[in-house]
């Protein structure tokens, strides 16, 4: 139905859509995890925080699992190179994620305060570690990763875990972590009340500020101090191009090239920059639900900005630019993309529809009274 060229662009878009889906839906869960030990002053308050997301966080995390599955199926070489290259980072991420299902489910099953406090910190780690590792990985993706792909299509990675901690990538961590805190705080402000909501509002203020400043700084850095990549040879968009047949140049500022080719793309960084300010405005006017939509939009804009700057690169290689993985040489076959496209278009709307229904059923604020009434049922 679609030609291979169009289909691969669609699949690039689906990949970005899933990254956005994960960041928007699970982002506030991660943020609330990070804020848990600081915003919740009493056990009941912490339980309020947990129960705003308790029934839904698992479905939200499934965006990450699906993202993994989709990249495995539609972008196998990217999946293989990324996960094996960032081996230690991915395991640290995994160990962080371990703490969440058990943290939510086990924390309130015993009344012992030390048990509960230990799980609260576990949930903090479960929120912080994924936020940090994923932002760090994103920063390194933008910079290019040190890998090489041989003629058998086997990838070899030459960096270590500690090499990921580059100054630019650390700036990206600041962007990511502050954004997740903002997103989480906006959700709490919406779904809780009294002292807790007030504390969440204060987090909205400072996290917006940190996010906006660090996002602008990262943008300036990309414009004047960071190498971007560009394919300089002819592009074969009809078949799966042979990786090594392309030539790639690596130069300062190339990541801005797409903004001249597609001027409408500028909307994305623009919205991300002013969006956090709009979140503050909306939440100060008590449009808390709208503020949450706005912070979701900011999350999307940040991801689209990064991905849009890099297109058609998905994973540039800093040590062997010709090994870089792009939309044109790392996708699945035409047949697989076609069938997986239909499967996705059929199933994701259903998923989103029942997710929306679940949120509707669970709507409304969670209060300390709710917790006291349902001590033995709630998380």
Partner 1 sequence: MIINEVVELSRLQFALTALYHFLFVPLTLGLSFLLAIMESVYIMSSKLIYKDMTKFWGKLFGINFAMGITTGITLEFQFGTNWAYYSHYVGDVFGPLLAIEGMMAFFLESTFVGLFFFGWERLSKVQHLVVTWLLALGTSLSALWILIANGWMQYPVGAEFNYDTMRMELTSIADLFFNPIAQVKFVHTVAAGYVTGSMFVLGISAFYLLKNRDVAFARRSFRIASGFGLASVLSVIVLGDESGYTLGEVQKAKLATIEAEWETEESPASFTLFGFPNEETMTTDYAIKIPWVMGLIATRSIDEKVGGIKSILENNRERIKSGMIAYAYLQKLRQDNQDSKAKSAFEAHKDDLGYGLLLKRYTDKVVDATPAQIEEATRHSIPKVAPIFWTFRGMVLCGFMMLFIFAASFYYNTKRTAHKQRWLLRLAFYGIPLPWIASELGWVVAEYGRQPWTIAGILPTHLSVSSVDVGQLYLSLAGFFVFYTVLLVIELFLMIKYVRMGPSSLHTGRYHFEQDEVNHV
Task: Pick out residues in 90-149 that bind partner 1 (CB under 8 A).
Answer: 90-91, 94-95, 97-98, 100-102, 104-106, 109-110
Binding to partner 1, residues 319-338 (CB under 8 A): 332-333, 335-336
Task: Please check whether residue 107 is in contact with residue 118, taking contact to mean a CB–CB distance below 8 angstroms.
Answer: no
Quote the tokens at residue 342: 């239909």
Residue 257 in 3-state DSSP? helix
Binding segment (CB under 8 A) for partner 1, from list 69-77, 162-170, 206-214, 229-237: 69-77
**Toward partner 1, which CB reaches closer, 33 or 269?**
33
**Toward partner 1, which CB reaches closer, 298 or 340?**
340
Binding segment (CB under 8 A) for partner 1, from list 138-146, 152-160, 208-216, 306-314: 152-160
Using rule CB under 8 A, residue 187 touches partner 1: no
Q: Which of 246, 321, 344, 371 contacts partner 1 by CB under 8 A? A: 344
**Toward partner 1, which CB reaches closer, 336 or 367?**
336
Q: Which of 6, 232, 233, 242 contacts partner 1 by CB under 8 A? A: 242
Number of residues that bind partner 1 (CB under 8 A): 72
**Toward partner 1, which CB reaches closer, 10 or 205?**
10
d(CA 52, CA 117): 18
Binding to partner 1, residues 74-93 (CB under 8 A): 74, 76-77, 79-84, 87-88, 90-91
Strands (E), the chain: 147-149, 155-157, 227-231, 248-252, 313-315, 325-326
Binding to partner 1, residues 160-179 (CB under 8 A): none
Binding to partner 1, residues 4-63 (CB under 8 A): 51, 54-59, 61-62
**Toward partner 1, which CB reaches closer, 147 or 215?**
147
- Residue identified by tokens 């994620």 is 97
Q: What is the 3-state secondary structure (H, E, C) of 17-47?
A: HHHHHHHHHHHHHHHHHHHHHHHCCCHHHHH
d(CA 169, CA 158): 18
Return the DSSP state at 337: H
Residue 148 in 3-state DSSP? strand
- Residue identified by tokens 């540039």 is 316
Task: Please check whether residue 203 is in contact with residue 185, taking contact to mean a CB–CB distance below 8 angstroms.
Answer: yes
Quote the tokens at residue 378: 């709630």
Binding to partner 1, residues 260-319 (CB under 8 A): none
Cα angle 194, 197, 199; round to 5: 110
* Closest C-alpha to 324, from 239, 241, 257, 226: 241
CB of 202 to partner 1, least distance (A): 29
CB of 370 to partner 1, least distance (A): 10
Quote the tokens at residue 364: 């409304």
**Toward partner 1, which CB reaches closer, 68 or 289?**
68
Q: Which of 213, 235, 348, 368 contacts partner 1 by CB under 8 A? A: 348
CB of 265 to partner 1, least distance (A): 28
Task: Please check whether residue 379 is in contact with residue 54, taking contact to mean a CB–CB distance below 8 angstroms.
Answer: yes
Quote the tokens at residue 43: 């056990």
CB of 320 to partner 1, least distance (A): 14
Binding to partner 1, residues 359-378 (CB under 8 A): 361-362, 376-378
């Amino acid at each position: 139905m679609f030609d291979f060229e169009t289909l691969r662009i669609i699949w690039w878009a689906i990949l970005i859509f899933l990254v956005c889906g994960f960041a928007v839906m699970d982002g506030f869960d991660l943020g609330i995890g990070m804020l848990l030990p600081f915003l919740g002053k009493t056990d009941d308050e912490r339980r309020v925080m947990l129960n705003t997301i308790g029934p839904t966080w698992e479905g939200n995390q499934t965006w990450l699992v699906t993202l993994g599955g989709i990249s495995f199926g539609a972008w196998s070489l990217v999946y293989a190179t990324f996960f094996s290259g960032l081996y230690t980072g991915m395991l640290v991420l995994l160990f962080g994620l371990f703490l969440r299902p058990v943290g939510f489910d086990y924390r309130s099953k015993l009344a012992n305060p030390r048990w509960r406090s230990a799980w609260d910190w576990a949930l903090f780690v479960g929120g912080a570690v994924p936020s940090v590792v994923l932002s760090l990985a994103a920063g390194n993706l933008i910079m290019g990763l040190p890998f090489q792909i041989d003629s058998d299509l086997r990838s070899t990675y030459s960096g270590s875990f500690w090499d990921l901690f580059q100054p630019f990538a650390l700036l990206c961590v600041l962007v990511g972590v502050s954004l997740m805190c903002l997103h989480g705080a906006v959700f709490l402000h919406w779904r809780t009340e009294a002292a807790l909501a007030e504390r969440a509002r204060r987090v909205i203020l400072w996290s917006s500020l940190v996010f906006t400043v660090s996002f602008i700084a990262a943008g300036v850095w990309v414009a004047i101090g960071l190498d971007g990549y560009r394919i300089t040879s002819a592009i074969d968009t009809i078949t799966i191009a042979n990786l090594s047949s392309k030539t790639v140049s690596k130069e300062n500022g190339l990541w801005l090239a797409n903004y001249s080719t597609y001027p409408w793309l500028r909307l994305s960084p623009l919205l991300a920059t002013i969006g956090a300010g709009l979140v503050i405005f909306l939440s100060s006017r008590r449009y808390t639900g709208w503020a949450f939509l706005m912070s979701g939009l900011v999350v999307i804009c940040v991801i689209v900005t990064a991905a849009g700057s890099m297109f058609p690169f998905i994973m540039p290689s800093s040590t062997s630019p010709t090994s870089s993985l792009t939309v044109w040489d790392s996708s699945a076959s035409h047949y697989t993309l076609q069938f997986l496209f239909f499967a996705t278009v059929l199933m994701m709307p259903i998923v989103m529809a029942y997710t929306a229904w679940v949120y509707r059923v669970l709507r409304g604020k969670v209060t300390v009274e709710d917790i006291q009434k349902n001590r033995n049922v709630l998380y």
